[in-house]
Every structure is written in structure tokens, then in C-alpha cells.
A and B are shown apart, each in its own frame.
Chain A
Amino acid sequence: MLKITNVHKKYNDNEVLKGVDITVDKGDVVVILGPSGSGKTTLLRCINFLDHANQGEMEFDEYHLQLNSASTSEVRKIRQKTAFVFQNYNLFQNKTVLENVTAGLIIGRNMEKKQAVDLALKALAKVGLSDRVDFYPSQLSGGQQQRVGIARAIAVEPDVILFDEPTSALDPELIGEVLSVIKQLAQEGTTMIIVTHEMKFAADVATHVIFMADGNIVEEGTPKDIFQHPKEERTRNFLRRILPPQVEYNI
């Protein structure tokens, strides 16, 4: 469904992505792991053109385009097929919860207001915020704001949802509510690409895991491949540092 090949991205002289390929099929939950600065977020942002890659190709259903020379209308079409959940939520501060969710439908997609509100209420029910529709973002907790962010993403019924470290800005006790919503989406067969540092969650929801370092994909495979039988030394090092140590006893 979505295939991106040979993505290169430079910030000035700093090469962040050095030729990354990624393929996503319908129903996949692709989790991207890697240390900070490995280019995970940049890759995600290149997919819907928040960052413009210097080189690379994209095949997305019937669209086939070059990442560095896509026209404004092509960019908009790709953006309408995707949704993005941000690390720091980025809710529209001047809109209520409900308006945040309907904005993409009414303003972005010219949908009738009544129909948009129906869809939005359904999406908000799914993330458990039916009782907060008339609140402004400033009145919500971080976890609730991020769930609104997710509702905003699913309401537009995108082909794929991109999650950029959706729990990194949250208090530890609020992370659970957001992860469980994403898990539920995964069980319903929503196609997602998730950048995260939550290893246990990644192992639970992923159908495919990608490990990135220094702008390259080091290793990819099923969660079992990556978490239990990593082939590359770089992956093993990363997992050893981030997973709780497995103490070996020697008597």
C-alpha cells in the first residue's frame, strides 16, 4: 500500500537519513525503534512532507511521486490519506475538543457539519472522551490531550496513521491510557507507523519492527526476531541498554 525507497535527508551538512526504505501493507503496525538522533522522527515527517526529503520515491496506492519534487496538490493528497499524532499533541488551542476533531473534516475535507460531528463523536467515544467534547485543550491533562490527538487522527479515516513518540511528553502514570487506545486501534486492524521508546508496548502491538541508527535501518523483522534474536551487534547493544537487565545467576 505504502512504499518509500531510498530516502535521503540532510540538514545543512548533517545527513539525517542515508537511504532508508520502508514498506507498509494494509493492517500493518510498523514500529520504528532507535536511539535519539537516528532519524526516526525525520523519516516519519518525510512521509507526509512536514520535512522535505532531498531524495527518495514514494508509492502510495495509485500515487507515485518523488519526495523532493512533489507538487503542493500531491502533498495535500498524501496528507489527506494520512494522519499524524504528535509528541506534544499540537491541539488547536482556540478550538474545543470536538472542533479539534471536526476541523480536518469540515475545513480540510469540506464535509457537512452534521456528518463531521457524528464521525468526531464516534472517534471521541473510542478514545474515551465523550464527556469532554466542549472542553478546550488547556483544560485537559496531557493524556487526555493526546487521546484527542488520536481521535483527530482516526476521525478522518486515514489509510495510515503516523505516531511520533506519542507518549514521550507524558507523565508515567498517563502513558498507559494512551498506549491502550493505540493497542485497541491495532487490534481493529488500523494501519500505523509508530515511533516509540516503549519497548514492551512495541513488542505487543508491532507486526513489523524496524531498528534504526545513524540514519540507516540496521535491522528489521518481526518483534520476535528483533527483541529475542537480534542479529546485529548494534541492535543488541541498544536493547541491552534500554530493556531491564536479565540477571543471570551463577552459583
Chain B
Amino acid sequence: MDINYQFLIKTFYLVLTAVPTTLNITAVSLLIAMPLAFYLAVVRMRPGKYIRPLISAYITFVRGTPIFLQILIIYSILPSFLNSTAKYFALEVNVFDWNPIIYAYIVFSLNTTALLCEVFRSALGSINKGQLEAALCAGMTTAQAYRHIIIPQALVVAMPNICNLTVKLIKGTSLAFLMTVKDMTAVAKIAASYGYNYIEAYMDVFVGYIIVCSVVQVLFDFAEKHVGKFRLIKQK
């Protein structure tokens, strides 16, 4: 097997230039999904007749279908839908001119929201209700109790799962090429297609993802230790 080392190295740098795109999709999706997922998690924990089944259905849908399909469906349906909506309201926008990364944001946000919602729900549920009651008795409002007492503790519980999800999301963004977004995978594939150097390209992408995901995991370890200070102190 001949490996074109020159191409290998050249493409590796090319892959690195696409890291920001991958991180961009990941970060924006997480930023959209976090507050949304948290809100849904809180709503889902409260008694309510109508909204809860809707949230459950949404989560079931997202969890029960491959992200590959979700991308294909949203990328083929959403633009036409948005276009006809825009036309209906006589808006002067051409949806088909949009940067495809916007659809990547939408797909990955929707996907991450559903998964994060479950992470948050389990984390919030792990903090005993007594502390909320104690906070209310201490004169706090429910919002203050969540902000100062419940969320800081739930976050520590959720951290490993959020890390898991983030890494999964980074890898998941490799499917963004379906929407013609030029992320790490797409860039390497395009480069490979000129001379059929697929093995080299895949090796580059492989290493690229390992580096990015490792750095993210280290950062999460660090963050987990920081927000979980109160847990780490040993019995004196």
C-alpha cells in the first residue's frame, strides 16, 4: 500500500483549517440547545397535561431516528417550507441563498436539545427536593433557589453527560457534508476526490477528530472539577 505522505500532510493542514467550522456548529448548537433543553426539562418535571406529552413525543422522535435521516428530512423540507412561508408573508428573502451552515445549526440544535433535556432532567431529579424546600423556607423565591442551590449541584451531576454529548455532537457534525457545509470531514473528502487519496484523507480526519475531542474532554474534566469543588473536599 502506497501512502502519499505529501498529500497526507498537506491535507492534514487543510483539515485543521476546517476545525473552526466543526467547532462553530458544535458551539452554536450547544448554546441554542442548553437554555432550551433546560427549560423543557423543568417543564417536563412539573405536572401538566398538554405540554409534557408534546415534549416526550419530540424526544422520542429525535432519539428514535438516525441523525442522518433527520438531516436529510430537514435539509430537503425546511428550505421549501421557509420559502413558501416567506412568500406567503411577501417577505423579500431568498431562502436558497442562505449559508447551509444555518441548516446545520437547526438540525444539530434540535437534536441536542432533546438529548440534553434528558440529561438535565435526570440531573435535576438527582438533587433531593428537601434542599429546594429548605431554600424556600429560607425566604428565597423558586427562581433564586434554582439559581443558587439546585442548578450548581445539578450541573456537577450533568457534567459527564454533557461532555459525552458534546463529543458525540462534534463527531455528529461530520454529517454536515450532507448539507454541503465544509467541515473537517467534507474538506478532506473533497481533497481526496481529486486523486482518489481517500486513505490518507480519512487518516487525517481520524487524527483531527481525536485531537479535537481529546482537548474538549480535558476541558470538561477541568470544568467538572471546578464546578464540583464542594464534592472533592475529603472528610477532615
Q: Please classify how large the interface on chain B is, using the bins under 10, 10 to 19, 20 to 34, 35 or more.
A: 20 to 34
Return the contact of A108 from the options B130, B138, B153 (Cβ within 8 A): B138
Q: Check A136 for interface membership: any CB of B closer than 8 A.
A: yes
In Å, the complex CA distance between A88 and B130 comes to 8
CB distance from A188 to the nearest CB of B (A): 21
Return the contact of A80 from the options B128, B134, B139, B156 (Cβ within 8 A): B139
Chain A, Cβ-Cβ closest to B236: A139
B152 A94 Cβ-Cβ under 8 A: yes
Return the contact of B138 from the options A93, A136, A156 (Cβ within 8 A): A156
Given contacts A107-B144, A107-B148, A139-B236, contact A94 B137 (CB under 8 A): no
Q: Give chain B's interface secondary structure class.
A: helix
CB distance from B144 to the nearest CB of A (A): 5
Q: Check B136 for interface membership: any CB of A closer than 8 A.
A: yes
Chain B residues with CB under 8 A of A104: 138-140
Chain A residues with CB under 8 A of B135: 92, 103, 108
Contact with B along A69-90 (1 / 0, CB 8 A): 0000000100110111010101
Chain A residues with CB under 8 A of B130: 86, 88, 90
Q: How many A-B residue pairs have CB under 8 A?
A: 74
Contact with A along B197-236 (1 / 0, CB 8 A): 0000000000000000000000000000000001101011
Chain A, Cβ-Cβ closest to B133: A50
In Å, the complex CA distance between A92 and B135 comes to 8
CB distance from A190 to the nearest CB of B (A): 16
B134 A107 Cβ-Cβ under 8 A: no
A136 B230 Cβ-Cβ under 8 A: yes
Return the contact of A82 from the options B133, B137, B141, B230 (Cβ within 8 A): B137
B138 A152 Cβ-Cβ under 8 A: yes
Given contacts A107-B144, A139-B235, contact A90 B131 (CB under 8 A): yes
In Å, the complex CA distance between A82 and B139 comes to 9
Chain B residues with CB under 8 A of A238: none
Return the contact of A138 from the options B128, B144, B156, B235 (Cβ within 8 A): B235
CB distance from A79 to the nearest CB of B (A): 6
Contact with A along B139-167 (1 / 0, CB 8 A): 11100100011001100100000000000
Chain B residues with CB under 8 A of A82: 137
B235 A103 Cβ-Cβ under 8 A: no
Return the contact of B233 from the options A83, A88, A136 (Cβ within 8 A): A136
Given contacts A90-B130, A108-B144, contact A76 B233 (CB under 8 A): no
In Å, the complex CA distance between A42 and B133 comes to 14
CB distance from A97 to the nearest CB of B (A): 12
Chain A residues with CB under 8 A of B128: 90
**Pairs A–B under 8 Å by Cβ, sample size 22:** A48-B137, A50-B133, A50-B137, A76-B141, A79-B137, A80-B139, A84-B133, A84-B134, A86-B130, A88-B130, A90-B134, A93-B153, A94-B152, A94-B153, A104-B138, A104-B139, A104-B140, A108-B139, A138-B231, A138-B235, A152-B134, A156-B139
List 4 additional A-B contacts (Cβ < 8 Å) besides A79-B139, A83-B138, A152-B134. Answer: A90-B128, A103-B140, A107-B138, A138-B233
- Interface positions of B (Cβ within 8 A of A): 128, 130-131, 133-141, 144, 148-149, 152-153, 156, 230-231, 233, 235-236
